[in-house]
A = this chain, B = another copy of it.
Amino acid sequence: MARPARIPCEEVLRSMKTVFRENGYDGASMADLAAKTGLAKAALYHHFPGGKEDMAAAVLDEISGWMKEHVLGPLSVPGVPREKLRRLSEALNEFYDGGQSSCLIGAFSIGEAMTLFQGRLGAAVRGLMAAIAKVLIEAEIPERVALSRAEDAVIRIQGALVVARALRDTRPFTRLLRRLPDDLLSALPDAVSDR
């Protein structure tokens, strides 16, 4: 056995994730992180010697793991496409807290964080797009259309989160998630759209 699963560490990561989601990278201060985690700043540096950058990286990795387990994994497993997409909407609704929590892909794609984490951000977007496209291809949708729709889905998810926050109204996001499975699997028009 490699390591005794450190339970408190998960709690610390959860708190840090909240701080970064609410404040972005530049807006999150060590004081914020210390307050939210309940640890002193020095204790945080003990666990994350690289400071804020290390903490943000750890949060992104933790999210990546959660996504692989709860989102990408279930999409890759054999199953009814529509049902899998319905569960995707549910998982996203949970992850983004019904549209109330921001996405770090958006929050970290400006300022210093953009240069620091561009690799992780791009990988996250590409991973989700690929997983959705795979389900659509499984549903007999031509690859080209599947890739286009998958990209559009990720675009809409990100955009709905922005719009929901700007309007202080989560309904644009929840509406989107409700329509997402049908939209992704809808019949092909006439090759007019989906170019």
When C-beta atoms are compared, the residue in chain B nearest to A23 turns out to be: B111
A183 at the interface (CB under 8 A from B): yes
A 84-101 binary contact with B (CB < 8 Å = 1; else 0)? 000000000000000000
- A105 and B158 within 8 A (CB): no
Is the beta-carbon distance between B162 and A152 smaller than 8 angstroms? no
Q: Which of B114, B152, B165 contacts A109 (CB 8 A)?
A: B165
Residues of B within 8 A of A195 (CB): 179
Partner-contacting stretch, out of A10-18, A67-75, A122-130: A122-130
What is the CA–CA distance of A26 and B25 in the complex, to the nearest angstrom? 9
Copies of this chain present in the complex amount to 2
Does A138 reach chain B (CB closer than 8 Å)?
no
Within 8 A of B (CB), among A171-190: 172, 176, 179, 182-183, 186, 189
Q: Do residues B162 and A109 form an inter-chain contact, with CB atoms below 8 A?
A: yes
Q: Does chain B have a CB within 8 A of A50?
A: no
Contacts of A62 in B (CB 8 A): none
Contact of A155 among B109, B111, B176 (CB under 8 A): B176
A166 at the interface (CB under 8 A from B): yes
State A162–B193 Cα separation when bound (angstroms): 22
Report which of B22, B109, B111, B152 forms a contact with A166, defined as CB distance below 8 A: B109
A: residues with CB less than 8 A from B are 21-27, 102, 105-107, 109-112, 114, 118, 121-122, 124-126, 151-152, 154-160, 162-163, 165-168, 172, 176, 179, 182-183, 186, 189, 192-193, 195
